[in-house]
Amino acid sequence: MHTDLTTGSIDEHLIKLSLPAIIGYFFHTMFNVTDTYFAGIISTEALAALSLCASIFFMILAIAIGMSEALTSLVGNALGEKNLQKARHIALNAMLFAFLLSLFLSIFGILSVPYLINALGDSSYTAEALSYINVILYATLFFIGSFFFNALLNATGDMVSFRNVLIFTAFLNIALNYVFVYTFNYGVSGIAMATIISEFITMSYLFYKLQKTTLHLNMQEFSFDAKVILELLKQGFPPSMNMFMMAFGMYIITYFVAPYGKEAVAAFGIGMRIEQIFLMPVVGLSIATLAIVSQNNGAKSYARIMPTTNLAIKYGFILSALGVAAFYLFGNFLASLLTNDLQVIEQSVLYLRICGFAFFGFVMIFIYIAMLQGIAKPAVIFPISVYRQVIAPIALFSLLALFELEIYSLWLGLDAIIFSSAAFLWWVSYKKLKALG
């Protein structure tokens, strides 16, 4: 069975699909917050190491995330066409693609990560960073498998399975971190071990749930189709590069934050973790938007696409206002939950109170990107990502560094970059939607 998103109330579909995704990704973020908490117990250097590794590992996974989003769009369009055989055919070829992709990214990551870490020039947390990331990289298959299996479930309208397993593994991760960090004293490598065990369980459960759907994978039906692989690459390259540039952008920001000291790097990591908690509803809305738009585009029900997008934007703005208020009222308290270093807390609160306003820009970016993927027009995503994550930060932050301004100038510059990107995506999306009629 799969949910038909081409009929019925758009409002109900959006809420029904986004709520499980929001809850699931909230617990996924709490999973990361747990890692940050235990790293804070170890040392400020460990906190800085996890902050750096988050951006580096996300660069590795970004390609897989983008490709999995393309898979949701392709299978969702096939289901919208009521062509189940085509949907299964795409899914089976995507599994081969996922395996080859995980092998490539794992090898690439192992070879390249030491250079990325050493490029920052701060040796005070290099050992901790390598200790963490080297364990994670050997389990790349588990992460990519989870993304691809969940992408297929999303295409069928199932957002609940991912939610359920993320809730379970969030609590499991707490127990595993306690065992590896406290009992066995493995340090940051223990945090990594807890992560890969949880991710293996996530992948296994999602595969089990997928086998219960109309898309169940029967390898006897598999026939290699280069056209499907090429279409995945074509549709997946722009969102993959968007995700990659997001991760690379985090690395670039870390590079410019590093001269302010390890406390500033640790604060950036904590600020992002807290920020991610409040961004989860927006992520959930974007996933729901992608699923709804994909099926309606496949069914040529174009009149339902703009209302879906506008409604998601409206809900996102309401949630953003709540997030900004929370940062101003409770920012100090939230940061103090993750570290007792007063300087790190102060820097974290500064980041949250300035960059919190960027939430409104993120809503537009996430929702419009999801819509463009859903209508199979993702080409513009890549150039805007290059601008937002690479060109603008390097140019602007280099100028700010030249004048040796305080760190708050970086966060104000980041807000400006995000809002300018959002405005451009709005303009492009409006044109694309108008062309659909």
- pLDDT at res. 282: 85
289 falls within a domain:
yes
Domain that includes residue 29, residue range: 14-436
Q: What is the pLDDT of residue 176?
A: 95
- Residue 418: its pLDDT value, please? 92
**Average pLDDT for 391-408:** 87
**Is 2 a member of any domain?**
no
The confidence band for 120, taking pLDDT boundaries of 50, 70 and 90, is: low
pLDDT the model gives residue 121: 54
- pLDDT for 430 equals 84
Please give the pLDDT value at position 2.
Answer: 59
Which range is least confidently modeled, 7-11, 170-174, 183-187?
7-11
Residue 9 lies in a domain: no
Residue 161 domain-assigned (yes or no): yes
Give per-residue pLDDT as tens, 357-382: 888 999 999 899 888 888 878 778 77
Does the residue 119 lie in any domain? yes
Q: Is residue 3 part of a domain?
A: no
pLDDT in tens, 403-412: 888 888 889 9
Instruction: Summarize pLDDT for 152-165 with one digit per residue, the tens.
Output: 998 887 878 888 89
Q: What is the mean pLDDT of the chain?
A: 85
Judge whether 89 lies within some domain.
Answer: yes
Indicate if the pLDDT at residue 29 is higher than 70.
yes
Residue 1 lies in a domain: no
What CA–CA distance (Å, rounded) separates 294 from 239? 15
296-333 pLDDT, tens per residue?
887 788 888 888 888 999 999 998 898 889 888 888 89
Average pLDDT over residues 133-140: 87
Instruction: Tell me what pLDDT residue 3 has.
Output: 67
Share of the chain above pLDDT 90, in %: 20
The structural domain count of the chain equals 1
Confidence of residue 183 (pLDDT cuts 50, 70, 90): confident
CA distance 315 to 21: 15
Give the model's pLDDT for residue 122.
Answer: 62
**Mean pLDDT within 84-88:** 88
For the segment 208-227, the average pLDDT, to the nearest whole number, is: 85
pLDDT digits over 51-63, tens only?
777 777 777 777 8
Say what the pLDDT of residue 267 is: 85
pLDDT: which is higher, 107 or 118: 107
Give the model's confidence band at 204: pLDDT under 50 very low, under 70 low, under 90 confident, else very high.
very high
